[in-house]
Structure formats: C-alpha cells, structure tokens
C-alpha cells in the first residue's frame, strides 16, 4: 500500500495533473498487474504502459507522485515497480551518504522524467 502520509493535502491544485494524464481513459489493467502475471506477458504489458507514458503531458508530475507516495504497484510516469524500488534505494543511499540530509536525485532516476 502507498504511504499516504507523504501525500499533499486533498486540494484540487495538487491533483489536477491527473485530469490530463494519457492513461485516464485506458483500462487500469494496462498499468497494474493482474494476480499471478508472469513474463513474458508482464514485460509486454509494462512496455505498452511505458509507451503511453512516453507521450503523456503529465509524465513528470506522475513520476514525482509515484516516488513521494512510494507507490508499490503499477507503472507511473514511465517507471515500473522494480525501477521505482531501485530509484528509492539509491535516494536512501544518497541521503545516508549525505549525513541524513536530503540530496535530490539526478536525472538518471528516470529517463526524461
């Protein structure tokens, strides 16, 4: 489950980006795995989701949300679960290396995000 304590308060201005998302009218099964899904089916579904994200006008805010909420499932902002876990681990490592202070991650966190 996503960590909701890190989410912004429920003001429209914080969530307006979702209204413009390319995925808004698509089935969520394209972005979230069904129970028991395995490769190669999983890889094909994730690749299709990432293609949609690549042309989405709100890819950046979506990606940022997925990291701040630590979304555990789905493809968000062109990044799947495994990639998000790796990014968050790198960020935690960078924070530890910086003496516990927040150090923004570089652009290598996600391609173009």
Residues near 17 by Cβ (< 8 Å), separated by ≥ 6? Answer: 58, 61, 62, 65
User: Annotation-wise, does 81 bind a ligand?
Assistant: no
Predicted confidence at residue 59, as pLDDT, reads: 97
User: Annotation-wise, does 59 bind a ligand?
Assistant: no
So where are the chain's domains? 10-21+28-101
pLDDT single digits (tens) 31-70: 999 899 999 999 999 999 999 999 999 999 999 999 998 9
- What pTM did the predictor assign? 0.72
User: Annotation-wise, does 87 bind a ligand?
Assistant: no
How far, in Å, are 37, 65, 108 from residue 111 at the CA level? 25, 16, 6
How far, in Å, are 42, 54, 58, 63, 96 from residue 2 at the CA level? 21, 23, 20, 14, 23
Question: Among 1-5, 10-14, 86-90, 109-113, which is the least confidently predicted range?
Answer: 109-113
How far, in Å, are 14, 15, 41, 73, 99 from residue 29 at the CA level? 25, 21, 12, 11, 41
């Amino acid at each position: 489950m996503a960590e909701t304590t890190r989410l912004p308060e429920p003001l429209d201005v914080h969530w307006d980006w979702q209204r413009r998302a390319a995925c808004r009218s698509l089935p969520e099964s394209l972005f979230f795995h069904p129970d028991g899904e395995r490769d190669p089916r999983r890889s094909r579904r994730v690749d299709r989701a990432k293609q949609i994200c690549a042309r989405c006008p709100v890819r950046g805010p979506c990606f940022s949300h997925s990291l701040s909420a630590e979304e555990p499932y789905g493809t968000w902002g062109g990044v799947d679960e495994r990639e998000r876990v790796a990014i968050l681990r790198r960020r935690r490592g960078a924070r530890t290396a910086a003496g516990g202070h927040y150090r923004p991650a570089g652009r290598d966190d996600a391609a173009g995000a």
